[in-house]
Each structure stands twice: as structure tokens, then as C-alpha cells.
Chain A
């Protein structure tokens, strides 16, 4: 299918990207510690925090992946969305409270504070990176798939644009 470049779509895309970058710059200046980086110092209202959680869950995988899987595989595709909620149950009932009690934000930090072992820290870091890579690949592919019909650009351009924006937001100096 051939898609044509839409000026309006590009303007809206640039506006949203600019807004997200502006917000991240604004809040990055207020970030002074790991606690404020991970949890905004615990000062976020529960409703706003809930919206942030929803934003985390509504990723390319859920927007495009699940819809596509239901379209192609019917009910078998729907089964995957139940898996998402099962993961949320584990995080809520088993992980959240012990992590909060320890005063840690990441699984690696929690393991390190409990066992104080370099090997465990290394294993946790490597597994985090491996999981993140396999999570990122479909997200980036999804971003590229979105850019093709929205902006009329080649797939690889979408991957590069979205990847660069995300790296810039997360790794910007404070």
C-alpha cells in the first residue's frame, strides 16, 4: 500500500513530540535524586499516577499487537490481553509492597540490598537488559508501522525518529 505524506499529520506529530520533549525537560530540571526520577518523590496524586500507569500499559504492543492478533487469530489473540492483567496482579500483590518496604525502585536494587552480591547484581542487570531488548524491538517495529501510514515516511525512518526521541527523553542530562 502506498501512503502519501500529510502535512497536517506531520504538524500534529511534531506538536506532540515538542510537547513531550518540553514536559520532560521541565520535569528533568526538578529531578535531583533517584527517588524523584523514579517516583517524583512520591508527590504525585494517585489519579495522575494512575494515568501514568495506564500510559505504560497502553503501549504499541497493546494498541497494535493485541488488536492485530485479535483481527488475525480471533479469540486466540484475545488470550494475550488476559496475560497482561495477570502480570499486573503479580506486580500489585507480590512485588509492590515488599519493594516499597525496602525503599527500592528496581528489582536489581532490591536484590542488591538483600544479598549484597556482585554476581546477583550482574545476573539481574543482564536479564533486565535482555528482557528490555526483546520488549523494545516490537515497540520500535510498532512505531515504524505507525509512521508509515501517518506520515508517509519509510518504516526505518519511524524506527529511527521514535528511537532517538525516546533515548533523548530518558538520557537527557539533569
Chain B
């Protein structure tokens, strides 16, 4: 194997620009939700101890919510990207 810069032949993907744009939008959505978590932690840390769902406090619900949201958004991103590729690269 040569130690040259990695390069691969990519077939023209007409959906690439739209996928990148969708990625940026979804990133902004996640960042806003994440920023809310950080903001509460910085300014009103006592809120984190409040009960939010059943016996669980806001810190646990929001924290696990962020983890689950990332996974769900990954699935959504994959779904829309696949649909765009199928639609725009048909011919």
C-alpha cells in the first residue's frame, strides 16, 4: 500500500448539496437544545434538581433526552438523505 493521501472515486451525487444543508439545519437544532442544557447548568443549577418526569429530576431527563435525541436525529437524517439520493440520483 502506498502512503499517499487517501482518495476515492466518488460518483456524482446530485443530492450532496441538499444533504449538507440538511445536516447544518439539524446541527443547529441539536446545538440549541444542547445550549439550553448548558445554560440551565450555568445560570440555574438548582433547576436541575426539580422533578421533571415521574421520580426523575430535570438533569437526568434532559441529559438522557439529549443522548436519545442525537440517536433519533441520526435516524431522521439517514431517512431524508436516503430519500434525497433515491429521488435526485434516479437517472
Asked if A and B bind, the verdict is yes
Are B63 and A82 closer than 8 Å at their CB atoms? yes
Pick from A18-26, A37-45, A141-149, A156-164 the stretch touching chain B. A37-45
Interface size, chain B (Cβ < 8 Å): 33
Minimum CB–CB distance from A54 to chain B (whole Å) comes to 12
Specify which chain B residues have a CB less than 8 angstroms from the CB of A31 in the assembled complex: 1
| B21 nearest in chain A by CB position | A97
Chain B at the A interface: SS class: helix
Specify which chain A residues have a CB less than 8 angstroms from the CB of B8 in the assembled complex: 34-35, 39, 42, 103-105
Pick from A3-11, A88-96, A132-140 the stretch touching chain B. A88-96
Are B77 and A92 closer than 8 Å at their CB atoms? yes
B9 at interface by CB-CB < 8 Å: yes
Chain A at the B interface: SS class: helix
| A32 nearest in chain B by CB position | B1
Are A93 and B7 closer than 8 Å at their CB atoms? no
Specify which chain B residues have a CB less than 8 angstroms from the CB of A101 in the assembled complex: 10, 13, 16, 20
A interface with B by C-beta (< 8 Å): 31-35, 37-39, 42, 75, 78-79, 81-82, 85-86, 88-90, 92-94, 96-98, 100-101, 103-106, 109, 112-113, 174
7 of the cross-chain contacts (CB-CB < 8 Å) are A34-B5, A37-B1, A79-B63, A93-B73, A94-B24, A101-B13, A103-B10
